[in-house]
Structure 1
Amino acid sequence: MAQTTKYNMVKEKITEWIISEKVHPGEKIHSENELGRMFGVSRHTIRQAIGDLVHEGWLYREQGAGTFVSHQQVHSSQTLLSHPPLKKTKNIGVITTYISDYIFPSIIKGIESYLTNHGYSLTFACTDNDIKKEKLCLQTMLNSNIDGLIVEPTKTNTFNPNIQLYLELEQNNIPYLMINQFYSQLSPPHLVMDDELGGFISTEHLIKLGHKKIIGLFKSDDLQGINRMKGFIQAYKAYSIPFFPEMMINYSTENQEIYPIERLTEVFETANRPTAIVCYNDQLAIQVINYLRSLNLTIPNDISIIGYDDSFLTEASEVKLTSVSHPKIEMGTEAAKWIVDAVEKKGTLPPSSVYKPKLILRNSTGPCPDTI
């Protein structure tokens, strides 16, 4: 198991303990040595994971006493249903797809910092990118007397049967804002990335390095993946690069752990190998890097690779990953500011925002080996 995978596994498991209330706010967690034995990883890996969770606000340390669960208000959909919060004033709901998503804790940090400074509490729920769970989260939020709602929508490239619940929010004069993507049927206020441009500039960068055999790996049940794929295709067209079979591999939420690498394996078993790969996000890029290592390929000498979101994973291994930026904390802060303005001013809502991506260059991309 790669070091990065172990690191994420530890973070996700501890986060799950907090959400499922196996450990409670103010409660001490296991020591680094105990966690190392429990997960079968080095103390260094545990220390990295704990440090990140402290930075993200899930845990806090007390000198000489240990590490404890923080008091930030975090709930799973099941917890919210079993223990709906009492009526509060100045309470903002936040629904996201994954509690342990590798960029969302940074977004939450921006949201929580702004809301806390303005006297608001935060009620948090996650959907696991599952439409049925999204319904439960929305129903609970509606019953929880929230003043406003920030939502990362679920499976935005498929029909969503929960539209009526969003209309109910509107009927109850509860403002809501969507981040990262939005449901086009509702045309809601939103803060999103220009993902098509992100897909374009990453592919363009590889083309300018001489690559013509570039494969794109894209998630197909979220519009982020579809738009990034559009940009990928537009770059091919703009530079008159010939299309070829297997130039795109699409996958869904349900098969994201296995399918992309399985399909990539099939491609690399042929003589028609790519010289570069564009990935839907940094998480997938790390999976691909680990697979390429198993083939004894070096990056970027043999093959170049680009991620997306400029997460902490870009610096997590000896291969420093070229990636498309995501505003993370800035988006969270702006989302919180938007929702507070909407709650307090009760008038014209602030406009939506589209963030322009930038390509952050590191050492995972280089000239096409055929041109050297």
Structure 2
Amino acid sequence: MLMGIQEPKYKAVYNWIVDNINSGELKAGDRLPSENELSARFGLSRQTIRHAIDLLGQQKLVTRVRGSGTYVGGEVRQGRRERYMNIAVISTYVDSYVFPTVLREIESVLSGKGYTTQIAFTGNRVGREQEILSNLIDKDIIDGLIVEPAKSALPNPNLHYYRELMKRQIPVLFFNSNYPELGLPYVAMDDVRVGRKAVEYLVKAGHRRIGGIFKCDDGQGLLRYKGFMQGMQEAGLRAKDRNVVWIDSEDLVDMEYWSDYLFSRIGDCTALVCYNDEVAYVLSGICGRRGIRIPDQLSLVGIDNSELSTLADVQITSLPYPMEELGRKAAENIVKMIENPCFDGNYLFDSDVVERVSVKILGSGS
């Protein structure tokens, strides 16, 4: 290297991989360390790591396999020779108003393609998720896994189980949310866009003092909040921190118990974006018991367009969650990932507001 000319940062990664291939430490078919692992090893950004990997790929020294990793060699690694025609599905809940329809569609599509479906539920608990994943790995009789992550907004202790499945070249597809650290594909509602559209609808109705209730332990809650903030900023509005309330799965069950605190936070709002229809439904009941009239005193927008949105005393404006479509897409994509390891299983669904009567139209000065 010439004096005064600094070698590009990506070359350290590039040279390390090439040297290990030449020395035999990395053999054809071996899986490279993940981008996160290489980033930690070399103290470089993931973008720099990706640039080195891309260059190696152009030279046919490595091959990326979507949902599995990057492997030494210029040929796409073939899937396991033995097929079990069995796909596992892990969901958080069995009795939620959303999941039965999603799971029914997944099972229907997979059955039509000749697969049996093995379904398990975590109750949104990472401990139960660990038990299920450990059992699946021990038995080793699945061709793919469709999974809704447990408490996806929180650090997860089970990531090594997913990495083991990736090492075994078993395709993994998340639905509703994902664990970003893994870089695995997922099928979900476009939660950021949905959060933004909820705010846009309220702003169009004349609301300016808009608050929100979001879940803090699920990735969907964080994304819907992100969209909420985007919508407020695009409308030239400032979201007050006190008007944004964060809840977890347990708080939702006990919402009546801590409702005094809730209303102390949102008391000056004319409208709320609710994490989902369940939050909106429970809140509407509490408002009724407190003598707070919806929508005259407080407007609500939910997300999911579930049956709950029509069961409240005042039917709730909501953005539909694509239950049937999402289930079908998840099943179709996992089969494609099994048949073609390079298939990109990612897909986000858009949604538009279904108007009911829970939002009041205000004057421009409100």
Q: TM-score, normalization: structure 2?
A: 0.72
Q: Residue 346 of structure 2 aligns with which residue?
A: 352
In structure 2, the partner of 1:38 is none
1:294 alignment partner, one of 289, 292, 298? 289
What SS class does the counterpart of residue 255 from structure 1 fall into? helix
1:238 paired to 2:234: yes
Matched position secondary structure for 2:335: helix
AA of the residue aligned to 2:269 = P
CA contact (8 A) 2:242 2:266 kept: no
- Which whole-Å CA distance do the structure 2 matches of 1:262 and 1:211 have between them? 28
- Cα distance change, pair 148–244 in 1 and its aligned pair in 2 (3 A): closer
- SS of residue paired to 2:250: coil
1:365 aligns with 2:364: no
Q: Do the aligned partners of 1:267 and 1:273 also contact (CA within 8 Å) in 2?
A: no
Deviates more, 1:267-276 or 1:167-176: 267-276
1-side partners of 2:315 and 2:159: how far apart? 41
> What is aligned with 1:168?
164
Secondary structure of 2:251 counterpart? coil
**Residues of 2 paired with 1:103 and 1:272: CA distance?**
30
2:201 to 198, 205, 211: 205
Corresponding residue for residue 62 of structure 1: none
Summarize the Cα distance change of 1:351–1:181 in structure 2 as closer, same or farther, 3 Å threshold: same
Amino acid at match of 1:235: G
Distance 1:174 1:362, change over 3 A: same
* Structure showing greater Rg: 2
Counterpart mapping for 1:62-141 below 5 A:
89-141=84-136
* Aligned-partner SS, 1:301: coil
Asked whether the equivalents of residues 182 and 188 of structure 1 are also in contact (C-alpha less than 8 Å), the reply is: yes
- Mapping of 1:155-304 within 5 angstroms? 155-259=151-255, 261=256, 264-266=259-261, 268=263, 272-304=267-299
Cα contact 1:246–1:267 (8 A) shared by 2 = no
Q: Contact conserved, 2:229 with 2:239, CA < 8 A, in 1?
A: no
Cα distance in 2 between the residues matched to 1:310 and 1:198: 12
Give the percent of matched residue pairs that are identical in Structure 1 and Structure 2: 33
1:317 Cα deviation from its structure 2 partner: 3.3
The alpha-carbon distance between structure 1 residues 265 and 213, as it changes in their structure 2 partners (threshold 3 A), is: farther
Change (3 A) 1:371 1:299: farther
Q: Is the 8 A contact 1:203 1:232 kept in 2?
A: yes
Shift of 1:271: 10
1:178-224 CA distance string (max 9 Å, x none): 01111111110111221111111101211221112222000011111
- Residue correspondence of structure 1 range 142-161 to structure 2 within 5 A: 142-144=137-139, 145-161=141-157
Which residue of 319, 324, 348 maps to 1:324? 319
Query: How big is the shift at 1:350?
Result: 3.5
- RMSD, aligned α-carbons: 2.3
Q: What is the identity, as a one-letter code, of the residue corresponding to 1:116?
A: S
Aligned partner of residue 299 in structure 1, secondary structure: coil
Query: What letter is aligned with 1:339?
Result: I
| Cα distance in 2 between the residues matched to 1:92 and 1:267 | 43
Letter in 2 for 1:240: G
Kindly provide the CA deviation profile for residues 232-252 of structure 1, in whole angstroms up to 9, marking residues without a partner as x.
122221112244352100012
In structure 2, distance between residues paired with 1:233 and 1:270: 17
Shift of 1:351: 3.7
Tell me which amino acid in the other structure corresponds to 1:220.
C
1:354 & 1:264 partners in 2: Cα distance? 34
Relative to structure 1, the CA distance from residue 264 to residue 234 in structure 2 (aligned partners, 3 Å threshold; closer, same or farther) is farther
Secondary structure of the structure 2 residue equivalent to 1:340: helix
Structure 2 gap ranges (5+): 1-81
Structure 2 match to 1:80: none
Q: Deviations over 1:280-306 (max 9, x none)?
A: 011111100001101222222222101
1-structure distance, mates of 2:131, 2:202: 43
SS across alignment from 1:319: coil
CA contact (8 A) 2:243 2:265 kept: no
Gaps of 5+ in 1: 1-86
CA gap of 1:334–1:104, structure 2 versus 1, over 3 A, is same
Contact 1:163 1:186 in 2 (8 A): yes
Deviations 1:330-361 (A, max 9, x none): 11111111112222x24422341111222111
Q: Which residue identity lines up with residue 361 of structure 1 in the other structure? A: E
Secondary structure of 1:256's counterpart equals helix
How far is the alpha carbon of 1:263 from its aligned partner? 5.2
Aligned-partner Cα distance in 2 for 1:134–1:267? 31
Q: CA deviation at 1:92?
A: 1.0
Amino acid corresponding to residue 250 of structure 2 in structure 1: E
CA distance 1:268–1:253, change in 2 (3 Å): closer
